[in-house]
Structure 1
Amino acid sequence: MYHHKKHIFFDLDHTIWDFDRNAEETLNELYHTYDLCSLGLNSCADFITTYTENNHQLWADYHLGKITKDFLRSERFSKTFIQLGIQPEKVPHQFENDYVNISPTKTNLFDGAEEVLGYLQQKYTLHIISNGFKETTLTKMDLSNLNPYFEHVIISEDVGVNKPNPLIFEYALDKAQARKSESIMIGDSLEADVYGAMGFGMDTIFFNPLRKDKPADVESEISHLRELLQLF
Structure 2
Amino acid sequence: MNFNERIKIVCCDYYMTLVELRKPFERIQRWITDYLSVNCSEVDIKRFNSRFTRNRAVIAADDSFMLGIDILAECLDRTCKSFGISGFCCEFLPYVEDIFRNTNAYPDAHLLINQLQKDYKVGLLTNADNYLLEESVKDLEFEFDFIITSEDARCNKPGNRIFEYAMEKLSIRNNELIMIGDSQNDDIFGAGEMGISSIWVNRNDEALRDGVVPPLRIVKNLVNILD
CA shift digits 1:144-172 (9 cap, x unpaired)? 212x1x11111112222222222221221
Q: Work out the CA distance in 2 between the residues paired with 1:202 and 1:212.
A: 21
* Distance verdict in 2 for CA 1:198–1:206, change over 3 Å: same
TM-score with structure 1 length normalisation? 0.71
Aligned to 1:222: 219
Counterpart AA for 1:139: E
Cα displacement (A) at 1:61: 7.1
Partners of 2:76 and 2:87 within 8 A in 1 = no
Aligned positions of 1:90-129 closer than 5 A: 92-129=88-125
Which segments of 5 or more consecutive residues in structure 1 lack a partner in the other structure?
Answer: 42-46, 82-86
Aligned to 1:3: 4
* Distance verdict in 2 for CA 1:143–1:204, change over 3 Å: same
Cα displacement (A) at 1:24: 8.4
Alignment: residue pair count: 212
TM-score with structure 2 length normalisation? 0.73
- Identity, in percent, stands at 22
* Distance verdict in 2 for CA 1:176–1:60, change over 3 Å: farther
Which segments of 5 or more consecutive residues in structure 2 lack a partner in the other structure?
Answer: none
Partners of 1:27 and 1:99 within 8 A in 2 = no
Cα displacement (A) at 1:110: 2.0
1:151 maps onto 2:148 in alignment: no
| Structure 1 stretch displaced more, 212-221 or 65-74 | 65-74
Cα displacement (A) at 1:26: 9.2
Aligned to 2:74: 74
Q: Work out the CA distance in 1 between the residues paired with 2:111 and 2:185.
A: 27
Cα displacement (A) at 1:7: 1.0
Q: Work out the CA distance in 1 between the residues paired with 2:65 and 2:112.
A: 34
Cα displacement (A) at 1:62: 3.1
Cα displacement (A) at 1:60: 10
Partners of 2:155 and 2:161 within 8 A in 1 = yes
Cα displacement (A) at 1:89: 3.0
CA shift digits 1:49-89 (9 cap, x unpaired)? x89x959x94797378488443333336986x9xxxxx763
Q: Note the aligned Cα RMSD (angstroms).
A: 3.8
Question: SS where residue 170 of structure 1 aligns?
Answer: helix
CA shift digits 1:100-157 (9 cap, x unpaired)? 33223313012311111111111211021112122212222222212x1x11111112
Q: Work out the CA distance in 1 between the residues paired with 2:71 and 2:135.
A: 22
